Structure 1
Amino acid sequence: MIKKRILVVDDEEDIIKLIKNVLERANYTVLYEYGSETALQRVTAHPPDLIILDLNLPGIGGMELCRIIKNTPATRHIPILMLSMKSAMEDKIAGLKFGADDYMTKPFHSGELLARVEAILRRSKKTEEHEPVVTDGKITVDLDSRIVQIKGKKIELRPKEFDLLVLLMKQKGRVLNRVYIMESILGREYFGNYRVIDAHVKNLRKQMGSESVRIKTIKDIGYLFE
């Protein structure tokens, strides 16, 4: 199963460590940035499943970053949980008006954090259009039964290779770097061991036969599905 990727944007290292510990124990992949500019670059390049965003960031503030993300077509679907030391109702209302999906005041209990994250992701899943089948030309993938057919013929894939194919197909035409692929299908416990990704790609190509040419290697970066 592909792990949900959560991006934490906060300039307080202790807060980031706390959130990482809580969410990684719950089997989420946690990424983090200390500033708005680098966070925006990451969100644009590889959109996460959820953003936990501090209101009081240096440079571009949390409110403005939230507004930018929610007003950009490619990222507006990403749910945002806003954090702040401010508990005033006006600040909560402002955050929600700028597009935040929920608002939590610091300090917070780890149980509350996890409960809010899971609730947001549940709501997000319900609002997504159900897509039981992914198809592209001669390749058909049934997400419910996890059956893959190429030219009408069923092929056998290992779980991680199935997840890899779905990831590539859903982002057709986009170069995916090895770090992103690793975080999405393996988790950070494999971080740095990029040969694992290359091995999964090699095995996937073997099973795909003539359609394997659609997975392109982008030298020193990663892979692209055409």
Structure 2
Amino acid sequence: MSEKAESYLTISGPSEGLYKEKGSKFLAFAYPVASEEDVKDCLDELRKKYYDARHHCYAYVLGVDRSTYRANDDGEPNHSAGDPILGQINSKQLTNTLVVVVRYFGGTKLGVSGLINAYKVSSEEALNNAKIKKVEITRTINLKYDYDATNEVMRLVNDFEIKIVDQVFEADCRLTGEVRIGLLNQLKEKVQLLQDTSHQVDLGCPE
């Protein structure tokens, strides 16, 4: 995902999938996660609940740029479990998403190709059962303005769908909000127009 990305895709809540092959059961669980700590919490919970399972394989992708990711085979042959799971997350271009597949061995070996298919299909089902949502990337802004410019600033809030985080009404007013990153340049242009018409409105974008 490029640095100029204005949104990303993730899942809105937990979901599950199931695949059975030659007695083995593959229970897949997808979770929205925001950090590696969230990943650890989900894994710990599943390991406690399914303590008698032979494998808890997983993959996750984190971050707006999808630059943090990991695939874990948890004892299965190399690249037979974690990579197929990661592949399903990537195929839907998701981020902030964890998929764990819990395997109960059925007594018959599936072979590497059979395992790859089982982990792929089970994780695919979990993600197909999830509700995918588009999240707009926002940037924090600070507006400082004279009280007389309140109406114009409120019009900016409405027009640019600015989410107000904090607001102070005094002789010198302040507003902290979140605006979609794709609208930031247009907002800057509008503020400049207000300044050109003698309104005292300053826009700051803290890093």
TM range (shorter): under 0.3
TM-score (norm: length of structure 1): 0.22
Structure number with higher helix proportion: 1
Larger fraction in strand: 2
**Larger Rg, first or second structure (1 or 2):** 2
> Larger RCO: Structure 1 or Structure 2 (Cα < 8 Å, ≥ 6 residues apart)?
2
Q: TM-score, normalised by structure 2?
A: 0.23
